[in-house]
């Protein structure tokens, strides 16, 4: 069952807190084309902006059920007690850095910055298939 999202809500992910207001079921092809032309697919905020607009990078509307689930989970995350800024910084560095930096180089960079080196489970998860 699909429910249109019609009220003002917030993307509660820790990065953007973007105001979101749309009637995804009533997006027209023209609106999708305009949004797609103005939308960038690079940079840290590109996905958050697409979610806030309700339009995927290919110009298609993001299904309301997916948006609803995303916002529910982000609301849970927004209410989670944090363990500390350094821990969160390290987690982000590892998660994103592993996409762009070799294991040895990332380990050295973590050490140089005063963070703990990669844990075995992180190595297995991020570098296991490479």
User: Tell me: the pLDDT tens digits for 30-66?
Assistant: 444 444 455 578 887 999 999 999 999 999 999 999 9
Give the separation between CA 102 and CA 39, rounded to whole angstroms: 30
CB atoms within 10 A of CB 55: 24
Mean pLDDT of the chain: 78
Confidence grade of residue 83 (pLDDT, cut at 50, 70, 90): confident
Taking the alpha carbons at both ends of the chain, their separation in whole angstroms is 39
Q: What share of the chain in percent tops pLDDT 70?
A: 68
What is this structure's pTM? 0.59
Q: b/e map of 64-92 (b: 16 or more CB within 10 Å)?
A: beebbeebeebeeeeeeeeeeeeeeebee
pLDDT score of 129: 65
Give the separation between CA 117 and CA 111, rounded to whole angstroms: 6
């Amino acid at each position: 069952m699909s429910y249109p999202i019609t009220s003002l809500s917030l993307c509660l992910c820790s990065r953007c807190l973007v105001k979101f207001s749309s009637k995804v079921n009533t997006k027209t092809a023209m609106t999708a084309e305009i949004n797609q032309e103005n939308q960038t697919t690079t940079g840290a905020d590109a996905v958050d902006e697409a979610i806030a607009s309700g339009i995927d990078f290919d110009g298609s509307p993001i299904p309301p059920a997916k948006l609803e689930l995303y916002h529910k989970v982000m609301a849970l995350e927004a209410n989670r007690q944090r363990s500390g800024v350094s821990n969160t910084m390290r987690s982000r560095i590892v998660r994103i850095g592993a996409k762009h930096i070799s294991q040895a180089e990332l380990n050295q960079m973590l050490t140089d910055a005063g963070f703990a080196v990669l844990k075995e489970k992180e190595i297995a998860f991020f570098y296991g298939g490479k």
